[in-house]
């Protein structure tokens, strides 16, 4: 069984989570979250891959050419949109946190209440 793509997925999740756990800067943590999420693209596309198949677009290939799964590709698109939305909101919240407390260090922010 060919597992290399799934090991890549695990590695991307791992480095992203490590970054979130150890980072001292909120913006950097948000970037790490984007890294974690990007592992899901690799996972989705990896799950739907069919050896030797074309992309699910039949503009210039015959309609019944074997193609990879279009459903997971559509899900990956949804994934990207959700990531963009989450990132925008988190960045906005980070700006407000910096305005209110004057720091972006999550360890220092944890000491503030309210």
Partner 1 sequence: MKPGQRRLMFFAGAAGLVAFYLWGLLGLPGFGNYPGPYGPAILRVAVAQTQATGVVSAVNFEYRGFDTVGEEFILFTAAAGTAIVLRMLRGEGERSPVDEARDRDAPPTSNAVRTIALLFTGPVVVVGWWLASHAQTNPSGGFQGGVVLATAFILIYLAGAFLTFSKLSPTDVTDAVEAAGAGGFAAVGLAALFTGLPYLYNYLPLGQIPGAVSSSGTIALISFFVGLEVAAAFLLIVSELLEQTLLIRHGGR
Binding region for partner 1 (CB under 8 A): 1-6, 10, 13-14, 17-18, 21-22, 46-51, 55-59, 63-64, 67-74, 77-78, 80-82, 84-86, 88-89, 91-93, 95-96, 99, 102
CB nearer to partner 1: pick between 1 and 114: 1
Which DSSP helix (H) or strand (E) runs through 44?
helix 26-48
Own/partner contacts of 82-88, CB < 8 Å, gap of 24 or more, are: 83/34, 83/37, 83/38, 86/33, 86/37, 87/30, 87/33, 87/34
Q: Cβ 1 to partner 1, closest distance in Å? A: 4
Q: Which is nearer to partner 1, 93 or 112 (CB)?
A: 93
């Amino acid at each position: 069984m060919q597992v290399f793509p799934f090991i890549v997925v695990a590695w991307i999740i791992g480095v992203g989570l490590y970054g979130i756990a150890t980072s001292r800067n909120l913006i950097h943590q948000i970037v790490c979250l984007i890294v974690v999420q990007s592992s899901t693209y690799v996972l989705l596309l990896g799950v739907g891959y069919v050896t030797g198949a074309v992309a699910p677009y039949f503009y210039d290939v015959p309609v019944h050419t074997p193609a990879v799964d279009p459903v997971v590709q559509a899900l990956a698109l949804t994934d990207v949109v959700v990531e963009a939305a989450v990132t925008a909101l988190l960045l906005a919240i980070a700006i407000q946190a910096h305005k209110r407390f004057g720091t972006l260090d999550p360890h220092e922010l944890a000491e503030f209440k309210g």
